[in-house]
Chain A
């Protein structure tokens, strides 16, 4: 009689416990960034203080330093500029490539798809040396355009592969129906395949933006002038002097640039998950 009820509550508590644990685990970095952003230097450095709360009144000083004494605003703009261009380039290349691999290449499509994915696994720490030569020869040193050129080398393979999975999940009947209903293959692709794949396209956009925001090696190698830095290079370069860390401003920089991505993820979380699990179940 009471046993099932107890069991049910036990299960519920178990679920909530696990979810709670993960929430704390994932939210903690944000909490840490947020409180550190507004802490006074002295509060941070005193070892006797409880690090999880404010022991002295909060301050805006760290944020002021970030925006007034570094080029943080400029870096944000640079990151956005590179990010959006890379998103556009990635979509322009990986949409047709993914479609071709999914539909048109026959038996070779699969192998090519795997090949393309493998190139994504080559780490930038290996690639930046030859890439540096290429950038040098093109005269793009110290220009944001170098990043616009290089980033697609890892976003395009991954996104092509991702979109290929999406397109494979769309029944070919739909395109054929559109071709009979009066469109060319390209028309059918634009009017039927692309709208059905919005989830995949959103996934590509978010994924590409995230990669661009966190990329460090190329940005550090190709860019030398502070005014051309992206956030991921600018923040650690200017807020870490030797072993002196400007923790407050560092955290402020990290927090401000990660929040938009977090919001973006949350808005589209359902579709995003669909993006990664597409074709997993028939």
Chain B
């Protein structure tokens, strides 16, 4: 077991700053997700932790030791690549045995260990096959088995589920999490899929433009976004942002409901909403439109669970409302969260 820490780590590719002064530290046995849009530097950060890429600045620590000068093989890590990177010329058995042989494990002990790892992922039947004879889901399991077999101190996973179809992805996600809980190895998981991140992570580090914008539990980053980027990136549809005097006001579409649907009363902020389009998605209705009155013309979106029985209709203006405590305020210039209130 070990923790991973990044201290002001950056990486420059020519004039591209892929990672820009990232500070990050995992807890013991934690499942940490790096989440961010394409090109924000997630993979680069992960590869620096793995030792495949050299940081141009800062320090990386694994288990409290600075590893900047250690090659990947000396870092006690295992990594699962997006492509799985199974060795195509070796059987599944030899793929899983590969790290053991490299570590110089006595020949006699290898089969037992390989079978243990294969059993963890239910792939005992596949040991004789070559990678090209496996389905995407099976390959992913082989890659995971190869990663755990050596019992590394840290797991690094780079979008390991992105090649699977939606249904398989859901079950693989579930398996992955159960497995991580069971062996309790510190894990860093890269994804650009927010559903995956919310579902898997103990904590999520939201990245953008090479920086970590916020790090926190799924509930923290969703409910208390640190800036407009995080507010806009998480949630679908994303947070509504409305300009008001010197601040931006944000509220989630699912908190923006017809006034009469707020049955528990409380402190409501009422906003007249002109609905232009209604999308029926089964469990939800998504309403597109613009505010009227004080915030004339600001485009916003509302999401009504189908269980909310309010009547809504495209082309009409209705009174919608948000509870005051669901309003988040952001600085107009920096985009950072502020406590300022609308006068």
Contacts and interface: CB of A to CB of B under 8 A. Distances in A.
Interface stretch (B56-64, B73-81, B229-237, B260-268): B73-81
Ranked 4 nearest A-B pairs via Cβ? A182-B102, A173-B85, A177-B85, A181-B99
A19 interface: no
B50 interface: yes
B88 interface: yes
5 contacts: A176-B50, A176-B52, A178-B87, A180-B78, A196-B87
Contact of A181 (B71, B83, B98): B98
Contacts, number: 56
A182 B81 contact: no
B167 interface: no
Contact of B102 (A174, A176, A181): A181
Given A174-B88, A180-B78, A196-B89, 4 more contacts: A174-B87, A176-B85, A180-B51, A195-B89
Max chain A Cβ within 10 angstroms of own Cβ: one of B51, B52, B85, B98: B85
Contact of A179 (B73, B88, B89): B73
Nearest to A192: B87
B72 interface: yes
B73 A183 contact: yes
- Of A178, A182, A196, most B-chain CB atoms within 10 Å: A182
Contacts of A182: 73, 99, 102-103, 150
- Among B51, B72, B77, B150, max chain A CB count under 10 A is at B72
Contact of A180 (B73, B83, B88, B89): B73
Contacts of B146: 181
B88 A183 contact: no
Interface residues of A, number: 16
A180 B103 contact: no
Contacts of B88: 174, 196
Contacts of A183: 73, 102
A184 B98 CA distance: 14
Contacts of A173: 81, 83, 85
B230 to A, nearest CB: 31
Contacts of B89: 195-196
A260 interface: no
A86 B240 CA distance: 71
A139 interface: no
A171 interface: yes
Nearest to A182: B102
Given A179-B52, A180-B72, A187 B87 contact: no
Interface of B: 50-52, 71-73, 77-79, 81, 83, 85, 87-89, 98-99, 102-103, 146, 150
Contact of A174 (B71, B85, B99): B85
A180 B98 contact: no
Interface string A204-228: 0000000000000000000000000
B89 to A, nearest CB: 5
A180 B77 contact: yes
Contacts of B51: 179-180
B81 A176 contact: yes
A184 B71 contact: yes
Contacts of A179: 51-52, 71-73
Interface in A236-263: none
B250 to A, nearest CB: 40
Nearest to A170: B88
A174 B338 CA distance: 47
Contacts of A176: 50, 52, 72, 79, 81, 85
B60 to A, nearest CB: 15
Contact of B73 (A171, A174, A184, A192): A184
The residue in A171, A173, A180, A196 that gathers the most chain B C-beta atoms within 10 A of its C-beta is A180
Nearest to A185: B71
Contacts of B78: 180-181
Which of B51, B73, B79 gathers most chain A CB within 10 Å? B73
B100 to A, nearest CB: 9
Nearest to B156: A180
Nearest to B101: A182
Contacts of A174: 85, 87-88
Contacts of A178: 87, 98, 102
A174 to B, nearest CB: 5
Contact of B81 (A177, A184, A195): A177
A180 B50 contact: yes
A182 B77 CA distance: 10
Contacts of B150: 181-182
A181 B99 CA distance: 5
A134 B87 CA distance: 45
A273 B150 CA distance: 39
